[in-house]
Amino acid sequence: MVPQTRTAERKAAASAPTTLRSADSVPSVERFERIVDDYQRRLYGFALRMTGNREDAEEIVQDAFVRAFRALGKMTEEQRSELRLQPWLYTITLNVTRNRLRSKRPTNVALDALADPDALLNNTQEGPEQPEQIVERGTDLALVEQALLQLPMHLRAAATLRFIEGRSHPEIAEILNQPIGTVKSHVHRAVRILRRILGPQVGRIAPSEEPANAV
């Protein structure tokens, strides 16, 4: 199976509805079904990158939709017509993720790696790796996943939204409810830490064009 490239997904995201127009006083289950259908893949992908755990991601998405449904039921028609659905759903998902991760203790791996970010690479690579191959092997993508999970949560959210979800700075600012300057600085700090974790050879694998078939 060849997963969609991020670019294709981004295009799909751009065409999705971002407002919810409704004349009902309570959102109908049928209408909400459409929303769940439209957004579950994206929110699941986001929650998965944030947690690194499929079960957590499933429960987060489920909780997020339940919260969204409840909140929609309490909104006036005007509030609902002004609602920007997509960033709002991301914000809810992020809040649920935060609550969930807060109640879990960080793993030892994460603590070790924070002390010595290079350890992660050194431990898992036996000899010098051909840098061009780093993204061609599933195991190495696992390193990238792990590196992302080592970021503090606010930086991980910024990096995920920026580089995995392909969101613009203003969109991220809206989702995270932060000034654009803060978003930029978080993205920047996330990238700096990821560079340290992934090592200098990461600079030799960036292609000049978009990945055609990335796995």
Interacting positions 118-137 with another protein (CB under 8 A):
134-135
Give the residue from 200, 192, 207, 52 showing the smallest Cα distance to 121.
Answer: 200
Nearer Cβ to another protein, position 21 or 137?
Answer: 137
Structure tokens of 102? 């807060």
Residue 27 to residues 35, 40, 61, 179, Cα–Cα distance (Å)? 11, 18, 19, 31
56 near another protein (CB under 8 A)? no
Give the residue from 144, 164, 156, 135 showing the smallest Cα distance to 10.
Answer: 164
Q: How many CA atoms lie within 13 A of 44 on its CB side?
A: 11
37 near another protein (CB under 8 A)? yes
Which residue has tokens 């978009």? 210
Kindly indicate which of the ranges 85-93, 107-115, 116-124, 143-151 contains the residues binding another protein, using the contact rule CB under 8 A: 143-151
From candidates 18, 40, 125, 182, binder to another protein by CB under 8 A: 40
Give the residue from 26, 17, 92 showing the smallest Cα distance to 62.
Answer: 92
CB of 187 to another protein, least distance (A): 6
96's enclosing H/E stretch is helix 85-102
From candidates 17, 145, 177, 179, binder to another protein by CB under 8 A: 145
Interacting positions 57-116 with another protein (CB under 8 A):
57-59, 61-62, 65-66, 69-70
Kindly indicate which of the ranges 38-46, 79-87, 92-100, 104-112 contains the residues binding another protein, using the contact rule CB under 8 A: 38-46
Give the whole-angstrom CA distance, residue 52 versus residue 75: 33
Please report, as ranges, the residues that interact with another protein according to CB under 8 A. Answer: 3-4, 6, 9, 29, 32-33, 36-37, 40-41, 44-45, 48-49, 54, 57-59, 61-62, 65-66, 69-70, 134-135, 141, 144-145, 148, 159-160, 162-164, 166, 168-169, 184, 187-188, 191-192, 194-195, 198, 200, 202-207, 211, 214-215
